[in-house]
Structure 1
Amino acid sequence: MQCEPGEYLVPEPDLSVCPVDLCTDDDSGLACCAKPVPSLRWGLQSDREGVLQHAYEIERAADPGFSTGVVSTGRVPSEMPFDGQWPGAALASREVTWCRARVWTDRGVTGWSAPLRLEGTLLEQKDWVARPVSPRSNVGRSGTVAVPLLRRSFGVDKTVLQARLYVTALGIFECWVNGRPVSSELFEPGWTAYRSRHLFASYDVSDLLHEGENVLSAAIGDGWWRGNLTWMGRRAIYGDTTALLAQMEIKYHDGSRAVIATDGFWRGSTGSMLAADFYNGCEIDLSREQPGWREPGFDDSGWEDVVPIPLPGRLEQRSAPPVRVIRQFGARPERDGEGRLIVDARQNLTGYLRLAGKADSGGTIVVRHAEVLEADGSLQTAALRSAKATDTYHIGPGDFDLSPSFTYHGFRYAELHLPDGVSLDAVQVCVVASDLAEIGSFECSDDRLNQLDSNVRWSQRGNFLAIPTDCPQRDERLGWTGDIQVFAPTACTNFDSRAFLESWLADLACEQASDGQVPSTVPNVIQGHEFEFGGIGWGDAATLVPWALHEAYGSKVVLERQFDSMRGWVDWGSSRLDEAGTWVGDFHLGDWLDPGAPPDRPQDATTDRDFIASSYLAFSAGKVAAAARLLGHEDTAQHYRDLACRVAEATWRHWQSAAQKTQAGCAILIAFGIAPEEEISGIGRRLATLVERSEGRIATGFLGTPLVLPALTLAGQHDATFRLLLNEQAPGWLYQVVNGATTMWERWDAILPDGSINRGIMAADDAECMTSFNHYAYGAVGAWLYRSLAGIAPDEAKPGYRLIHFAPQPGGGITRARARIESPFGPAAIRWVRNDTKLHLDLEIPPGAQAHFQVPQGWAPEDSGAQAPALLGSGRHRFTLAPC
């Protein structure tokens, strides 16, 4: 119910707290707001301790002075500085409105935040007068073709007040106004389930226009729409025609308007880009460049007509951060013993090289990419399978500045082939990723673990590119659901992954089968393959990724949006239960790449896949129950609670002994609550024994690995925990580190103990090898580094770090650790230092949050009569502990 503004004012102001950084849940950075009813967020700024928010009010007005059209939420009880209600009616297309917020704290009401300007995007299909257009020669082309170019000249004879460009493509686009790029973003509009939802962007191009002739121009790459996809050699999965959809709306100072839209009056051609593909790379012939084609005054009378085609079925604006170059650094090419010119970026990454230099007479420059080198120093390209990962430039005499378009590569090394007479002045490494804010940092006294943390981050950067992918280098790069399901808690700690994963989850729901099954890849482009539906662990992305987002960021919005999808997956699993109440007999990818599985059949793990299926179903059912309760669906919550209990009990009855024979089995019994509480200690001892028998080597695959350290920690098996973590033998996390890894490997032993490369031979006709040196799945250990080693974690009952658990686990000879997280409430941090006789801890709690501090096992407050408070308020706290 909407209330009059100011109706709930309290007499006492709280001038010690200020609401700051008011924003919506749209993290796109675009000119317009993607959602008609956005959720609002803010921060609390204060120097005093113990700050708590009790309520908020949000006002909305037609002007920044809040003098006209003011509506209010009234005083809304809430401890959370997010999920703020939207006041008044839904935002209309192109509507401009202003919002501000204030909060009630434990001492009174604050002042208002700075106003936030919001502008509605094109929110309905009827807003589009433009239609996608393609050069006639580009229509119906499923093979490799030159990149099409499009342009439209138009006049401006008045003073421009504002200009907005709404633009997308069937394919991916680069766009210019009067020769200047409209943004620094790459691979727009990203990759979604195109048949269900197609994204567009909105840009403020007011400053790019001038009086007289102007031109809007674009190049359209194949991208995911028409390019090569999957290791099965599929192409043009979504369509055999790439096209541009653009609508520029201009407002003049005199109140008049103009619209420049893609239609039959545009002109099309090709230029220097002969080919561009994600897997194969880019080929550019500078002799075919049409100078000035992006500029006014260019004669396009020789260009061809365009063909308009129908609008995509569901257009919505992107709300997640874009892909762009996030980092650049120089690299020096070196000749090896065989005369090859090799660039070593010193870091495995995702991106491309930019080359600057001079040519005496021209020729062809070829740049080939790979993650590792063979023993003879040549590029190891077998792991790329059919991906060529090659950029080719045909140049003439003179200076050059070269970089590829519409492609990227996963690589550390690049081999350059230069014609005679070509000299290089500079080589720049351009790192490409979705531009997510880095919100977490970790560091400890063991540099091996610091390198492990770095490897996890670089793998997340390299694989968070429009969607969460498995790898960035070979003929795959797909949104495997199992990989992100296990990695999501770590992802949400390292980088602000909320909007990025919410967008991907929307596609998961679109691709989910009517019976509730979830495909192994989202978007689903492996239809018909035997792995199309990977079963447990993979399908559980529908339930556990939304829960990870809720836990990390506190918002219930993602649970509301995904709830039907969450239920659908669990309902599918429950429909597969046998009379004993267990899930038996279906195909599942299982504990994929368990080191005990046959190397060529990684799905045949040592832990019973039926046990894992039943356990995951019980665990996911519990999360659906918790989501239902939060959303106010108590009857539904009870149904799924009962289901979770029944399946867990049946799973324990059936596998209680067999499951304890493997590390993954023990870890699942403990971490998923399958075993009765009184059995946890004994199973923990059994797991520790298995670790000792393996001499500290890990024996789990994709599903078991994220659980084994948390399970040992829950069971109090401190020594075994660090034995497993710090093991340097294969298989193990630090084995990768000591063997030179700078990202996470797909296989524990991608480099074999003798230094040779694991060829990853597969018993499959369509993909005979599988070795990636940039796969984040085993990087799920990152969450444990934060939550247990450093000791900072969100609370499930009060998520988003509303209640912080500080529970450090010193051990393994580590003498210090620190972690910091930019939580939804503000910075939360822990730092501890251990010497021979003392453990010193510093905690930071943001305004509005509280914390529990759990004294580590074997330690006690230095003053035996002192105890840490049961609940710590915001501010800084220091403790000194002594051994006990």
Structure 2
Amino acid sequence: MKAIRLRTEYLQEPIGIDIVKPRFFWNCEGGIKQTAYRIICKRDGETVWDSGKVLSDAMTHITYDGKPLGSRDIIDWSVKLWDEEGKEGEISSSKFEIGLLQPSDWKAQWITGNYIVCRKKRYPADCFRKIFKCKDIAKARLYITACGVYEALINGRRCGTFVMAPGYTDYRKRIQYQTIDVTELLVSGENTLTIWLADGWYRGSCGSWGLKNQYGSVTKLLVQLEITYTDNTVHTVISDDSWDWSNDGPIRFADNKDGEIYDANYTASYKGKAKLTKNRVIPVASNNVGVSEQEHFTAKKIITPCGKTVLDFGQNMAGYVAFSLNAKARQKITLRFGEMMNSDGEFTQANFQLVFGKYVTPLQQVIYTCKEGHNQYKTRFSIFGFQYVQVEADFDINPQDFEAIAVYSNLERTGFFDCSHPLVNGLVHATVWSAKSNHLDVPTDCPTRERHAWTGDAQIFFETASYLFDFAAFSKKYLFDVYDWQRKNGKLPHIAPDGGADFYMKPMNGSVGWSDVGIIIPYQYYKIFGDRDILQRFYNGMASYARFMISRCGKTMPVFAKRIRLSEGNRKYLVNTGQSYGEWAEPVDVCSFKWQDFATPHPEVSTAYTSYVLGLMAKIAEISGYEKDAEKFKKYSEGCKNAYRELVSGGKYDLDTDRQAQLVRPLAFNLLNEEQTEFARKRLIKALEHYRWRLGTGFLSTPMILSVLAEYDLEAAYRLLENEEIPGWLSMPLHGATTIWENWEGPYNTQGAGLGSLNHYSKGAVCRWLFDTVCGIRVNGKNQFVVAPRPGGSLTHASASYNSIYGKVQSKWEKTDNKYEFTITVPANCEAKISLPDGSEHKQPAGTTTYITEV
């Protein structure tokens, strides 16, 4: 038996982490059962920890327990396994590297461009340079970060692969730095380190209206290059006021949303000097995956009815374009990036742009001025959401000169699904690509207009994302973003980081369904990844938010709240205060949006979520050993449940309704008594019939409706899934969508506003159901799975594979004549409980087994 997929803190051979007691992970290959392991960690050849032979089947969350680790330590670790027969396996090896742990490790000084900043002006990218000499080099590490976004080069070669570094955080509270191995970029003799610095999220456009200076107005840079020579001496190159600086390079304008203006006839002169500045925030490691260039796409050229040239890359995505072509000096190319062609066959950005007078945002454009001869360009400091690029140039364009490059966080794909229904497969494809397009260091709603890291989108999609991608490190980083925002009263945000949020949205912080991310994701994270540490790490913040939720119980907002009559015992648990989103975004013919929906409380939604989230918090408190907290949270969870039952017993929120969301939510959260449950189940079927088996749920309930239906009427769930009419999941791939649409109508939106991203992953959260119900794969604790496939609808076969934290589990079924054939693969060192539609149950060890049942 051999250990494979070795990870340190969920990362593959990370460099520059700041966790001094990291945890080790692996999967097993060969054999049935791991009976023992031995981990050895070495630093410079010296053993710093030898676990000895540990009799255990554990292969995750094994904590380093050796000599203290310090800044810059490089640890080589290996693991050897013993199988069920006691046979010793071969050694598998990995490594990790510690970054800079102490503030005193930073010798560098923050520097900035040598000019006086006017907050109302925009500036070219800063160019910094340091020339230095080296002896014979053993190793070199570049520790670097910025308030802004940077790209570093040594001797003209790029340092690392991180795009839009250092990533997105609330820079007033937390700044991530990168550790980059630059050993191979340096030479003996003279070396040149050059760094570009642009506005990024720090000073550039944020939010729907492209608000500027959200985290500061002076961009700045911190650089520390540590070079170890073969004689063991160390040479440190630090950022200070000796660095050369100018802002007269070719990047004349750079904005993360609006784009770049690039003049290839310019060359940075570096005739000035950098200026010292200060920053009170000490940089920290992200302990997360980086952001990199991913898939590359070629273009098909389109000439529109108006004679415009448009490049179609065939896939909606987030990223940018690169080109390589010959031109004459001063010739210009203008690239405009968009998601769709309009009904006249012309390129448009109208579906995501906001206009106020002459102000338009986002521009999503590149204006490039050519130099004589060969021109090679790739965007550095902007990301666009697009499938189509309109090209305007004063010379002929060859589509072969252009390529699109997708850019997103390095999320390894772990979940794959395929079935006999091509539109369901198309839905999965669209969901995967919307997820890729909206996970650039933070989970955003869309890569075009808002680009906000909405907490509601993150929480409803977390389980789906955890099937599709290796999501643990990324989502943990995002939880830090969420809790960086938390207020003293425990309130959590609806957007995190919140740069660019419009002023009138401030009261929406604390909205249930959104701010609940701070409890829902840690609990789901614990269940999926078996990680108790996540609960301990955020427990105080979660408990504080739970108490904030409790503080709203029994209160009624003045003026806007509708008076609700409940019995005295239940009244003190009703949540009828605070602005919130409610269900949000139901189809207009189900519940049309009115401005009052922003201003008024939503007692049905708020009371339901308060009961549900406090119930989760009670479980978290029990797991974490806080028994008194658990009792209190459970008391309020049950109290809100009882209040909810009375609330939906008549009046506006009565269960006798065609609003699917008001039936799905209490069923999903188990809020109803037995009689109410039976009624709501039947009424939901009737509501679906009245709406011609189309989706009438909104933002919060859409991900839950199939699971609710499958509890008591599996064929109803499949019927809803397979609906091809708008609104419905399959209507998107039916109409050619390669990503998930914000509005059900997508490019056919007739709701009036005309706004709607075509790359908005939230509706794709339903893909979880394809994994956990259609193919039935669920993690069920340490080294354990439940596999309970549930065939149905028109599907004749389906298969899913999930490379979980415990290994790759696969479930495949096929309908043949009057039989189902199920083929299930359980990874080494794991077991699965198999539950089949005929009621039979099996306990399956590692390996592949086929089961046959009657239809």
Tell whether the structures are fold-level matches, with TM greater than 0.5.
yes
Give the alignment of 1:149-548 within 5 angstroms.
Answer: 149-156=127-134, 158-270=135-247, 271-290=249-268, 303-360=271-328, 362-382=330-350, 383-385=352-354, 386-420=361-395, 425-474=400-449, 476-525=450-499, 526=501, 528-531=503-506, 532-533=508-509, 535-548=511-524
Does residue 787 of the first structure (1) align with residue 772 of the second (2)? yes
Give 5+ residue unaligned stretches, structure 1.
1-16, 291-299, 762-768, 861-866
Give the alignment of 1:134-149 within 5 angstroms.
Answer: 134-137=112-115, 139=117, 143-149=121-127
Q: Distance in 2 between matches of 1:432 and 1:162?
A: 29
3-state SS of 1:126 partner: helix
Does the Cα contact within 8 Å between 1:758 and 1:771 map onto a contact in 2? no
How much does 1:69 deviate? Answer: 4.5
Q: Distance in 2 between matches of 1:580 and 1:254?
A: 73
Q: Distance in 2 between matches of 1:601 and 1:110?
A: 67
Q: What code does the residue aligned with 1:572 have?
A: F
The answer for the alignment partner of 2:795 in structure 1 is 814
Does residue 685 of the first structure (1) align with residue 682 of the second (2)? yes
How much does 1:284 deviate? Answer: 0.2
Aligned to 1:836, which of 813, 817, 834? Answer: 817
How much does 1:109 deviate? Answer: 7.4
Does residue 771 of the first structure (1) align with residue 756 of the second (2)? yes
The percent identity for this pair of structures is 28
Question: Residue deviations 1:349-400, cap 9 Å, x none?
Answer: 1112222222245411000111111122222222222211111101133222
Q: Distance in 1 between matches of 2:294 and 2:401?
A: 19
Q: Distance in 2 between matches of 1:603 and 1:836?
A: 56
How much does 1:466 deviate? Answer: 1.3
Q: Mean alpha-carbon deviation: is it higher for 240-249 or for 85-94?
A: 85-94
Q: What code does the residue aligned with 2:271 have?
A: W
How much does 1:451 deviate? Answer: 0.2
The answer for the alignment partner of 2:731 in structure 1 is 735
The answer for the alignment partner of 1:636 in structure 2 is 629
- What root-mean-square deviation, in Å, do the aligned CA atoms of Structure 1 and Structure 2 show? 2.3
Aligned residues: 823
Aligned to 1:114, which of 69, 92, 107? Answer: 92
- Give TM-score scaled by structure 1 length: 0.89
Q: What code does the residue aligned with 1:310 have?
A: K
Does residue 571 of the first structure (1) align with residue 552 of the second (2)? no
How much does 1:424 deviate? Answer: 5.6
Q: Distance in 2 between matches of 1:180 and 1:232?
A: 36
3-state SS of 2:340 partner: coil
Q: What code does the residue aligned with 1:477 have?
A: R
3-state SS of 1:429 partner: strand
Does the Cα contact within 8 Å between 1:26 and 1:38 map onto a contact in 2? no
3-state SS of 2:794 partner: coil
Does residue 872 of the first structure (1) align with residue 807 of the second (2)? no
3-state SS of 2:632 partner: helix
The answer for the alignment partner of 2:565 in structure 1 is none
Does the Cα contact within 8 Å between 1:559 and 1:627 map onto a contact in 2? yes
How much does 1:225 deviate? Answer: 0.5
Q: Mean alpha-carbon deviation: is it higher for 401-410 or for 106-115?
A: 106-115
The answer for the alignment partner of 2:9 in structure 1 is 25
Aligned to 2:741, which of 739, 745, 761? Answer: 745
3-state SS of 1:32 partner: strand
Q: Mean alpha-carbon deviation: is it higher for 85-94 or for 587-596?
A: 85-94
Q: Distance in 2 between matches of 1:577 and 1:314?
A: 39
Does the Cα contact within 8 Å between 1:519 and 1:533 map onto a contact in 2? yes
Q: Distance in 1 between matches of 2:142 and 2:704?
A: 47
Q: Distance in 1 between matches of 2:815 and 2:217?
A: 63
How much does 1:41 deviate? Answer: 0.9
Does the Cα contact within 8 Å between 1:518 and 1:539 map onto a contact in 2? yes
3-state SS of 2:62 partner: coil
How much does 1:118 deviate? Answer: 2.9
- Give TM-score scaled by structure 2 length: 0.92
Does residue 849 of the first structure (1) align with residue 827 of the second (2)? no
Q: What code does the residue aligned with 2:259 have?
A: G
Q: Distance in 1 between matches of 2:678 and 2:483?
A: 39
Q: Mean alpha-carbon deviation: is it higher for 408-417 or for 311-320?
A: 311-320
Question: Residue deviations 1:91-116, cap 9 Å, x none?
Answer: 21112333333456654474574343
Q: Distance in 2 between matches of 1:575 and 1:449?
A: 44
How much does 1:313 deviate? Answer: 1.2
Does the Cα contact within 8 Å between 1:20 and 1:113 map onto a contact in 2? no
How much does 1:416 deviate? Answer: 0.4
Q: Mean alpha-carbon deviation: is it higher for 549-558 or for 479-488?
A: 549-558
Q: Mean alpha-carbon deviation: is it higher for 813-822 or for 132-141?
A: 132-141
Q: What code does the residue aligned with 1:240 have?
A: S
Q: Distance in 1 between matches of 2:605 and 2:473?
A: 30
3-state SS of 1:568 partner: helix
User: Relative to structure 1, is the Cα distance of residues 376 and 204 closer, same or farther in structure 2, using a 3 angstrom cutoff?
Assistant: same
Aligned to 1:621, which of 610, 614, 624? Answer: 614
Does the Cα contact within 8 Å between 1:359 and 1:396 map onto a contact in 2? yes
Does the Cα contact within 8 Å between 1:102 and 1:109 map onto a contact in 2? no
Q: What code does the residue aligned with 1:357 have?
A: L
Question: Residue deviations 1:814-871, cap 9 Å, x none?
Answer: 1000000001111101000002211000001112222122222xx36xxxxxx542x3
Give the alignment of 1:579-618 within 5 angstroms.
Answer: 579-596=571-588, 599-601=592-594, 604=597, 609-618=602-611
Give 5+ residue unaligned stretches, structure 2.
355-360, 555-570
The answer for the alignment partner of 1:34 in structure 2 is 18
Q: Distance in 2 between matches of 1:821 and 1:242?
A: 43
Question: Residue deviations 1:502-538, cap 9 Å, x none?
Answer: 0010111110111111111100222743354151000
The answer for the alignment partner of 2:559 in structure 1 is none
Q: What code does the residue aligned with 2:489 have?
A: D
How much does 1:738 deviate? Answer: 1.6
Does the Cα contact within 8 Å between 2:328 and 2:373 map onto a contact in 1? yes
The answer for the alignment partner of 2:76 in structure 1 is 98
Q: What code does the residue aligned with 1:94 have?
A: R
